Amino acid sequence: SKKLLVDVDCGVDDAQAIMLALAAPNVELLGVTCVHGNTAVDNVCKNVLRVLQACNKLEIPVFKGAAKPILGNTIDAGHFHGQDGLGDAPDPNPPGLDLIQKEGAVSAMIRIVNENPGEVSLVATAPLTNLALAVKLDPSLPSKLRGLYIMGGNTESRGNITVCGEFNFVADPEAAYIVLNEFKCPTYLACWEFTCYSKLSWEFCDAWLAQDTDKARFMARIFRYSIEVSKSERFEKEFVAGSGFVSCDSYAMAAAVDDSFITESDRYAVSVELTGTHTRGMMVVDTLGLLKSTNKAFIIKKVDMKKFEKMMMVALK
Ligand code: BDR
Ligand code: CA
């Protein structure tokens, strides 16, 4: 089976990605590490527990990580995920925060990877603060990973939080820079524009949520707010490439779960803009090879959408 370690800022699509992994037959989820991002890190911890509870998987260890980016202050995505990160939906049975491990996320990440050298795929669907701190503490970490799967960055300078920046990279540009430069392991990027070009249709979402299971009912509750925002006129205009839902984080997760999910990718060195009036946090793609970097990432271009829909369906069964 495949060993996954997942780093999240548990908003709605992180929740969907976690549920996809939990339902995959060949996956062992070694732990979930939490970081600031869509909402404050304490909310993120609580949200992960809620997701695990909905899937009867509260035995999976959850670790609390960085509350702030390396420089500056947090931003959040309450406008899309709700203030609590999961659509501000009423929660009849909230799990206790005492279930969070005493060990911090960064040490847990280092420990778990070192206990399973060469076996762990790390899936990061959040600002990359925890990963950046981990590689500074243990520079050998990347060489012990099977692969790194990131939802973040952008390829056409079309932003979703600044004019040309994607949320996870903009929320901690220094961390994204460190990770892209120092994780010299097979790295796969599900960037913002790609995820937008690979939307799930609203018809699919309706059928997905209509499944007669507790997991589908849980998802319908936490998903309601983001659906409303996604369908709003303003958002549809702003949103890259039209109507439907973009479960950004689920693409990175699906790529980690199934090696045949990615059907086309580009391979380039990538970096992150750290200064600039409009461009701080924007990913840059070195198509000309001018950065002279040997560290090239796989930028996902096309995936098997049939497989994706199937994995998503199974996630709520
Ligand atoms: C990313 O930002 C967050 O709001 C989502 O969870 C996703 O990880 C998309 O830019
Ligand atoms: Ca996320």
Q: Which ligand is nearest to the CA of 168?
A: 1
167 CA from centroid of ligand 1 (Å): 6
Q: Where is pLDDT greater, at 51 or 294?
A: 51
Sign (positive/negative) of CA torsion 22, 25, 31, 35? negative
Please give the number of the atom of ligand 1 that sits closest to the Cα of 192: 10
Please give the number of the atom of ligand 1 that sits closest to the Cα of 151: 8
Q: What pLDDT does 133 receive?
A: 98
Asked if 41 and 104 touch (Cβ cutoff 8 Å), the reply is: no
Q: What pLDDT does 238 receive?
A: 66
Angle at which helices 129-137 and 173-182 cross, to 10°: 50
Closest CA to ligand 1's atom 2:
167
pLDDT at 241 over 80: no
Mean pLDDT on 1-18: 98
Over residues 127-143, the pLDDT tens digits come to: 999 999 999 999 999 99
Buried b (16+ CB within 10 A) or exposed e, 150-164: bbbbbbebbbbbbeb
Compute the half-sphere exposure of residue 138: CA atoms within 13 Å on the CB side of its CA: 18
Over residues 22-48, the pLDDT tens digits come to: 999 999 999 999 999 999 999 999 999
Q: What pLDDT does 232 receive?
A: 86
Most informative mutation of 7, 8, 9, 230 for ligand 1 (most atoms within 8 A of CB): 9
- The response to whether residue 160 sits with its C-beta less than 6 Å from ligand 1 reads yes
Length of the chain in residues, anyone? 317
Look at residue 296 and give its three-state secondary structure: strand
Closest CA to ligand 1's atom 10:
167
Active-site annotation holds for 9: yes
> What average pLDDT does the chain have?
96
Over residues 260-305, the pLDDT tens digits come to: 999 999 999 999 999 999 999 999 999 999 999 989 999 999 999 9
Q: For residue 149, give the H/E element and its range.
A: strand 145-151
Q: What pLDDT does 277 receive?
A: 92
Over residues 81-113, the pLDDT tens digits come to: 999 999 999 998 899 999 999 999 999 999 999
Asked if 191 and 152 touch (Cβ cutoff 8 Å), the reply is: yes
Catalytic residue among 7, 9, 13, 258: 9
User: Rounded to 5 degrees, what are φ and ψ at 62?
Assistant: -120, 130
Angle at which helices 248-257 and 305-315 cross, to 10°: 100
Q: Which two tokens stand for residue 144?
A: 């012990």
Most informative mutation of 10, 248, 283 for ligand 1 (most atoms within 8 A of CB): 248
9 CA from centroid of ligand 2 (Å): 5
Over residues 227-238, the pLDDT tens digits come to: 999 988 777 766
Q: For residue 124, give the H/E element and its range.
A: strand 120-125
Sign (positive/negative) of CA torsion 171, 175, 181, 182? negative
pLDDT at 19 over 80: yes
What percent of the chain stands above pLDDT 70?
A: 98
C-alpha span between 299 and 81 (Å, rounded): 26
268 CA from centroid of ligand 1 (Å): 22
pTM: 0.97
Largest Cα span, the chain: 55
